[in-house]
Structure 1
Amino acid sequence: MTHISPDPEPERSTGLEPGGGVPPGETPPAESSMPETLPRETHNPTKGWAKAPLTVIIVVAVLIAAFFLAYALVLIL
């Protein structure tokens, strides 16, 4: 696995002080993106919606739709 060092290269960066610091007024070198910065998360995989909350939401939506349908039928008749 290749890894890109986040440390600046003194021979390619202008204005670096000994130790890698940047003097006041100088723009620091850009950060390099590092591959695989975080470990792979396997302990908490997403599984989507649980069955109980999804069932409750569907039942409530059907009851609300049935109420409005019944209300519309009462207004028409």
Structure 2
Amino acid sequence: MPAQNPSEPDPDPDRTPGLEQGGSVPPGETPPESASATGAVSHTNRASAGPAKWVWLAVIVVVVVLVAGFFVFLALGMVS
């Protein structure tokens, strides 16, 4: 069995079962495993919002308090 070349991760089409002439796969067959784009990633990156999520939360809270205060003052007759 010849050694696989790491720069060519695809299997040899001559020795791969299930492949038709030209390398196509017939209906119902699972294609041979190939290289993955994420195979070389050593760790996963977590999406972090950092302080931006707290700034947006504070802005929303301030707007809600201001709108609620306006309606309270409107109900008490302090705003005409």
For normalisation by structure 2, the TM-score amounts to 0.50
Aligned residue in 2 for 1:59: 58
Deviation >4 Å, runs of 4+: 8-14
> Is the alpha carbon distance of 1:11 and 1:57 closer, same or farther for their aligned partners in structure 2, counting shifts above 3 Å?
closer
- The structure with higher relative contact order (CA 8 Å, sep 6+) is 1
Per mean C-alpha deviation after superposition, the further-off stretch among 31-40 and 58-67 is: 31-40
Q: For 1:1-77, what aligned pairs fall within 5 Å after superposition?
A: 5=11, 7=13, 12-13=18-19, 16=21, 21=22, 28-29=24-25, 32=31, 34=33, 37-38=36-37, 39-42=39-42, 45-51=45-51, 53-77=52-76
Unaligned runs of 5+ in 1: 23-27
Give SS of 1:45's match: coil
Unaligned runs of 5+ in 2: 1-8
Q: Deviations over 1:36-66 (max 9, x none)?
A: 6132424672242112x12211110111111
For normalisation by structure 1, the TM-score amounts to 0.51
1:43 and 1:11 mapped to 2: Cα distance?
34
Aligned residues: 64
> Is the alpha carbon distance of 1:76 and 1:42 closer, same or farther for their aligned partners in structure 2, counting shifts above 3 Å?
farther
> Is the alpha carbon distance of 1:57 and 1:12 closer, same or farther for their aligned partners in structure 2, counting shifts above 3 Å?
closer
Instruction: Among all aligned residue pairs of Structure 1 and Structure 2, give the percentage whose two residues are the same amino acid.
Output: 11
1:11 Cα offset (Å): 7.3
